[in-house]
Structure 1
Amino acid sequence: MVALDIPAGGAKGNLPWVEKYRPETLDDLVSHKEIIRTINKLINNNQLPHLLFYGPPGTGKTSTILAAAKQIYTGKQYKSLVLEV
């Protein structure tokens, strides 16, 4: 899941559905297999260029880039280098 500030009392069940069930890794994503394979190859070769994701709402743009960021950065790096807006 995406690291969110969860209110005291463990209200994780109160997260929006899309955040609660968002894929955590690129392998968890169901569609766009060719795109995911390409992103994995770029990450593994350490040659990730600037990317622009576009498409209609609900197609997995945010989930894809957040999963890629989690693969690139770990723990403290992710929290300090990834900004979700």
Structure 2
Amino acid sequence: RALANQPAILLCDEPTANLDHKTGDEILDILQRLNQERGVTIICATHDHRMMNICDRLMWIRDGAIERIANRNEVEVELASID
């Protein structure tokens, strides 16, 4: 239903919550394809770290306040330096 009117922006609250790993991956794939093929901007609130792999930008919120905003490349460089 949310896609029936071809929205420019899609808001998702925990889109992979309570799903098994395979189904969660399928949802992430659908979201990524919506962005790439239809140009839909997708904003997700999630605790699922797999989402980092498909996002352009990430925002961390703690106690209702924005703690950090970064693009995926910045986060990947930081994570690589930890290894």
Same-fold call, TM > 0.5? no
**TM-score, scaled relative to structure 2:** 0.32
**TM-score, scaled relative to structure 1:** 0.32
**Structure 1 or 2: more helix by fraction:** 1
**Structure 1 or 2: more strand by fraction:** 2
RCO comparison, higher one (Cα < 8 Å, 6+): 1
